[in-house]
Amino acid sequence: MIKETFSNKKKLSAELGFGNKNYNESVRFLNQDGTVNIKRKISDKHMGFDLYHWLLSITWLQFITLVIISYVGVNTLFAIIYFGLGADKFGGLVGGASTENFSKLFFFSAQTLTTVGYGHIYPNSGSTSSVSAIESMLGLMGFALVTGLLYGRFSKPKADIQYSNNAVIAPYIDNTGFMFRIANKKQNELIETECKLALAINNLETKKREFHFLELERNQINFLPFTWTVVHPIDDKSPLFGLSEKDIIERDAEFVILIKSITDTYFQTVYSRMSYKPHEVIWNAKFTPMKQTPQRNGGITINIKDIHDYTKVTMN
């Protein structure tokens, strides 16, 4: 039985920057990887695009694959140009099959692009010398850009937070609580870690989307060496009080998480974001305690993959 409807709450709505429009279809503001799930168009046909940010944000596998493809593609392009100018325009290139000459010109392009220049093959005409000069210039500029991107990717401070796959509605003191777990996936230390939890939910009466910061049992810890179970008590002051699983599904709720911490690697403030939708919230469940294994040297190890484990419980 719902004791108090959400629309009758007198709390002021928080402002996260997502507006208050009530959408007819289910929406998600934050993806589970922390990216904002909103695309901004600069016109009816074009999306706003930041190439530098995209190159810093893609995975390492994607970045390395892109560099390799670009490297091979550029050398293939110049090899085609050299081949079209003719093998006779190069010194040290003896007559042979076309495929053999093309292969040699491909590696000549690689030597020119990287300014290695072994000298086994060299241009002996104005046209080939001009093209190789242009390629050398492009190579210097290209590798300078790649070096800058590599530095940016390595030096970019990041809070590599592991979130539990699901949040749970679990017993808490004399009532229930909304809970999720986080852990630091790296071996560095996160200091003064703070958490904010906001609820985005549709108001079925006003037809507006409302945002409310949820009070936490504890919103900051000094260190994050193990895991942190973040708890929002669902008491009579909570916007979730009296709401059922069906209610939060109908109202397209989203639990938005904002983490701020200081990393001891860079001694800079880092941030992490994530959200849970109703289908990612497990009702009548609690997290399984993480196993801590003592080591002979006096240390302790935990397995981060266990952060997702939970068990079903019976709640009154």
Q: What is the CATH number of the domain that holds 92?
A: 1.10.287.70
Q: Is residue 254 part of a domain?
A: yes
Answer yes or no: do 14 and 64 share one domain: no
Answer yes or no: do 80 and 150 share one domain: yes
Answer yes or no: do 135 and 170 share one domain: no
pLDDT above 70 covers a percentage of the chain that reads 91
Residue 183 or residue 21, greater confidence = 183
Answer yes or no: do 193 and 266 share one domain: yes
Model confidence at 9: pLDDT above 70: no
CA–CA distance, 200 with 13 (Å, rounded to integer):
9
Kindly report, residue by residue over 244-290, the tens digit of the pLDDT. 999 999 999 999 999 999 998 888 899 999 999 999 999 999 999 98
Last residue of a domain, one of 92, 120, 155: 155
Answer yes or no: do 34 and 177 share one domain: yes
Q: Is residue 227 part of a domain?
A: yes
Q: Which two tokens stand for residue 311?
A: 């068990």
Last residue of a domain, one of 127, 155, 183: 155
- From the number of C-beta atoms within 10 Å of its C-beta (0-12, 13-18, 19+), residue 274 rates as buried
Q: Is residue 203 part of a domain?
A: yes
Q: Is residue 301 part of a domain?
A: yes
Answer yes or no: do 306 and 178 share one domain: yes
Answer yes or no: do 212 and 308 share one domain: yes
Provide the pLDDT for residue 99: 83
Q: 99 to each of 96, 112, 137, 151, 293, how far by Cα in Å? A: 8, 20, 27, 38, 61
Q: Is residue 43 part of a domain?
A: no
Q: Is residue 289 part of a domain?
A: yes
Provide the pLDDT for residue 2: 41
Residues 6+ apart with CB under 8 A from 33: 274
Provide the pLDDT for residue 47: 66
The model's pTM? 0.74
* Cβ(255)–Cβ(280) below 8 Å: no
Kindly report, residue by residue over 61-90, the tens digit of the pLDDT. 999 999 999 999 999 999 999 998 888 888
Last residue of a domain, one of 126, 155, 184: 155
Look at the chain and report how many structural domains it folds into.
2
Q: Is residue 46 part of a domain?
A: no
Answer yes or no: do 194 and 268 share one domain: yes
Provide the pLDDT for residue 207: 83
User: What is the C-alpha end-to-end distance of the chain, expressed in Å?
Assistant: 13
Kindly report, residue by residue over 195-222, the tens digit of the pLDDT. 999 999 998 888 888 889 999 999 999 9
Minimum mean pLDDT range among 59-63, 198-202, 291-295, 303-307: 291-295
Domain that holds residue 56: 52-155
Q: Is residue 1 part of a domain?
A: no
Residue 273 amino acid letter: R
